[in-house]
Amino acid sequence: MLSCKSVQRMRSFGLSCGSKHFSVRMLSFKRPVHLSRWVSSPSVKNQCAFSMSYKPWRVTTPLFHQSIRFYSLPAHTKMLLPALSPTMEQGTIVRWEVKEGDSFSAGDLLADIETDKAVMGFEAIDDGYMAKIVVPEGTKDIPLGTLVAIAVENEDDIAAFKEVSLDQLKSDAPAPSQTEQVSSKSEAPSTSATAQNYPPHDRVLLPALSPTMTTGTIVSWEKQVGDHIEEGDAVATVETDKASVTLDYQDEGYLAKILMQEGVKDLPLGTPLCIIVSNEEDVAAFKDYVDSGEAPAKAPTSVSESKVEAPGVPPPTPSATFESSPGMPTGGRVFASPLAKKLALEQGISLTQLAGQGSGPQGRIRAKDLSKAAAMPTPVLEVPSPTVASEPVSVDGKFIDIPLTNIRKITAKRLLESKQTIPHYYLTVDVEMDKVLELRKSFNNELKEEGTKISVNDFIIKASALSCLKVPEANSSWRDTFIRQNTTVDMSVAVSTETGLITPIIFDAHSKGLESISQDVVQLAAKAREGKLQPHEFMGGTFTISNLGMFGVKHFSAIINPPQACILAVGAARRELVPDEATENGYREATLVSVTLSCDHRVVDGAVGAQWLQHFKKYMETPVKMLL
């Protein structure tokens, strides 16, 4: 028997039988037929002992310049619009980085999508080919979960989607999406034989609560076993790489079992946290429940690889980091084709048994490799005991080992990356502050009854934002293949907390007044020190200010906060004599502050950085110009 796919791949759609060759032209039929009906030569019919039944399809010779039409679509992956920011509800396709027919690998940038906060990259989580772009560039206000593209594993399957319509894709049997493939794998343990012995329940996994989060720490449980949960209630507080964030549950139920106790740290994404049931009488059934699911990967590098059981957190999305080399899994990832993942899930096969042993490039697992798993012994999976948060440890009183917070870990990682990959250079200038101090005193007298107090830092934020409008190169970021220039100024302000450095954002700082900026800074700084910042309040930003003047630091050079291109370091005010030809003795006393601009030389040239400082100095030394 020859399959449709076999005939599809024959060059020029010619069939060979013995010494005879003939070309065929097949039309669309509604029932299975036999190829022998088209063989007109008896001698050919005698030499061809085969028949062929198939679903309706059509093949034409190149003479007619027509394409192949498939009425049963090959295996494919539906790519849905993901949430690329914590508050994103819809997006705009800015551009497709791959075209129909292009191949891509895991981690490749597929498209740039504009969210409610910024333009972000949509990356592939597996290898494949772009078969169909459903939503073209420039389409605006696309709801989350909208089908935007179709990917296939085999290049030969691309032709099947050339003329396919959206209605056909919707009516076709559901294919796993990028998110569904991984989510279904995470759900598999909850549908195991053990789980089926329990009443219906919701197995809540640790979700990605920030775009860069890879692990989390359970700070506290806001609910206890047996407590009733209302829609939107906070179930737990989880420390991410940036702040402590509440894990909200968007349904009603009862907390039946807590699987991870308070203080457990460095939990990988996808770790089972608790069990929630709909009926109160089902709580008792989970008293001795032990989670028997497969241990999650140690460090999944994309938020799309966790199933978000708490809908209060945005749906999981591809993030900016992926394992780049296929083959043997590093960090717990197993490389397999979408079809192999789907079949393995249906057949109950653990892909970890075949890790690195597939027939694909560098050991990538394909569908045909799953037969090997039957002959292998089933591995006994051991769930590693998470490290429990500990107090500082002293050994013989000679030193103290202090456990790292998640914020400290991610700060160390990002700043190391910044210094190693960004070509820094530094520009320093002295700014006279007397007019700012005089104007600040006047404003504070006016605002005294309202309880608002404007600081020097508020003037610095406003002057920096206006300077970014004058020199937009400083309000840009390096994106490997292009430079992104921002049209609004979202000012990140460095705040020191007990757990590490964090940068809350003053959005649209260029359009806000000093009083509004002051109120935002006070509120965000308080939330930062209490660990209550929400992800959208510190993720992003286009320019950063770091002020150590209150500690008496004269001047310093700050490390750029990637992917931003600049950061301004502000020193302490000091009284000095400066030349002044207008005075009788030729000099006068002034209050000076040294500021240092750190620039990414890939984005901001030296002269451009100097121009930015000129504008900043002008605004600070003549603050009334900020009103223009």
Instruction: Enumerate the active-site residues.
Output: 601, 605
* 313 and 323 Cβ atoms separated by less than 8 Å: no
Task: Give backbone dihedrals phi and psi of 80, rounded to 5 degrees, phi first.
Answer: -100, 150
Q: Tokens 């110009």 belong to which residue?
A: 625
Closest CA to 162 of 82, 56, 74: 74
Most distant CA pair in the chain, distance = 119
Amino acid at 271: T
Q: Which helix (H) or strand (E) holds 103?
A: strand 103-104
- CA–chain centroid gap for 3, Å, is 41
Contact criterion met (CB below 8 Å) for 491 and 461: yes
Report the DSSP beta bridge partners of residue 88.
none
Tell me the residue type at 12: S
Specify the DSSP class assigned to residue 330: S
The token pair at 260 is 């991870």
67 contacts 100 by C-beta, under 8 angstroms: no
Q: How far is CA 103 from CA 94, 108, 128, 151, 153, in A?
A: 20, 10, 6, 9, 9
**DSSP sequence for 146-174:** -EEEEEESSGGGGGGGSS--HHHHHHSPP
Dihedral, CA atoms, 598, 602, 607, 610, nearest 10 degrees?
Answer: -20
Strands (E), 370-475: 393-395, 399-401, 424-432
d(Cα 593, Cα 574) in Å, to the nearest integer? 7
Q: Identify the helix (H) or strand (E) that includes residue 93.
A: strand 90-96
Four-point Cα dihedral 87, 89, 92, 97, nearest 10: 70
Identity of the amino acid at 535: P
At residue 419, what is the residue type?
K
> Phi and psi at residue 126, in whole multiples of 5°?
-155, 170
What is the Cα–Cα distance from 65 to 517, expressed in whole angstroms?
Answer: 65
